[in-house]
């Protein structure tokens, strides 16, 4: 597959059908395997809980559609989440929320 290609898997409705070995709780269906790929795609953000692998390093995105999943391939070496704001701002917000009557808290 080309370095910057798109790999599409279709007819995934059968992953839910018992006559094709599928089912919602069947861990080995392609749909459930792909759900685990979401965590691997974001392994760089797990603070060491997951080790980056081929999905982390060679996948830009995973897109779920009705009965289809698309994988965008490409070299991804390190991802970092931008951080905005300050810890003190979050602490102030928490203190403010703690002072609110319970019925107004989220």
As a whole number of angstroms, the longest Cα–Cα distance in the chain is: 57
Average of per-residue pLDDT across 31-37: 95
pTM: 0.70
- The confidence band for 88, taking pLDDT boundaries of 50, 70 and 90, is confident
Domain ranges of the chain: 6-80
pLDDT in tens, 38-65: 999 999 989 999 999 999 999 999 999 9
- The confidence band for 67, taking pLDDT boundaries of 50, 70 and 90, is very high
> What residues does 8 pair with on adjacent strands?
70
- CA–CA distance, 2 with 9 (Å, rounded to integer): 16
Q: Which residue has the tokens 């089912």?
A: 23
What's the DSSP call for residue 60? E
């Amino acid at each position: 597959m080309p370095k910057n290609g798109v790999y599409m898997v279709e007819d995934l409705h059968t992953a839910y059908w018992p006559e094709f070995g599928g089912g919602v709780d069947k861990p080995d269906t392609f749909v459930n395997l792909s759900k685990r790929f979401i965590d691997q795609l974001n392994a760089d953000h797990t603070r060491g809980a997951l080790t980056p692998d081929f999905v982390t390093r060679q996948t830009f995105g995973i897109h779920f559609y009705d009965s289809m999943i698309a994988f965008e391939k490409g070299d991804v070496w390190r991802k970092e989440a931008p951080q905005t704001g300050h810890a003190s701002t979050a602490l102030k917000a928490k203190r403010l929320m703690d002072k609110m009557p319970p019925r107004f808290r989220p």
